[in-house]
Structure 1
Amino acid sequence: MDDTCVPTGVELKETGFGYTLSLIGGKYKMIVLYWLSEKKVMRFNELKRCIGTISFKTLSIMLKELEADGLIIRQEYPQIPPKVEYSLSERGISLIPVLNMMCEWGEKNRLPAQEAVKRQAQ
């Protein structure tokens, strides 16, 4: 990383790095983006079932934030009962390679890091 990502004397939120973190930060945003990248179009309850550990309120907040940030599209159909579907926007799709790289890095480094901790504990 060069100093243009996090230059000295500049608040993190004012950098590209900080901006990206603000979009995907938190416990569930990356997971929501992952499921939408896998399934393409999902309804609220389907997302809730796939994530499992998320409350209805938290999922609702995450979806509203992701929509406000332009990463997902909320499509509402005027019917009874109401039908709402979520999908990735073009902007959201462009973020998926970043998330994939984070996943790959984690898979490569997770076990060696855990083994190092075990060795230190002995």
Structure 2
Amino acid sequence: MQISVGSWLIIDAALDNAIAVALQSDGDDAMVAHARALRERGWAAGEAHAQHDEGPVGWPPRSASLDIEATAADLDFLRAQVDAAIEVTEGLLDDDRLHPQARAEQELSRALAERTREELAAVARA
């Protein structure tokens, strides 16, 4: 699949969170292995990219495109993880006690994740 670095960074964070939750709750070992394998493919694609180290924390620029091997099942899994991240963010935004700065950060997080979800949907349709 071809996906922007910016979207991949959102996906990578969602996978990292899913792994952490699964490990803390004695979760599904197969899911953890799948998420780790996908993260490693993304890291390898970033490392091999001609613009490596020209973007955030060693990645190519956010607008650059990564070529990451992914099956239809992988895409479904990635979309589910991004959807779960959006759901968590929306839960945080539902809290009236959320500090205004934290609210702004969570709203940005949700917007970036929604854009990532749209990009993944476009990849799946291609």
Structures share fold, TM-score greater than 0.5: no
Q: Greater Rg, structure 1 or structure 2?
A: 1
| TM-score, structure 1 normalization | 0.34
**TM-score when scaled to structure 2?**
0.33
More helix as a share of residues: 2
**Structure that is richer in strand per residue:** 1
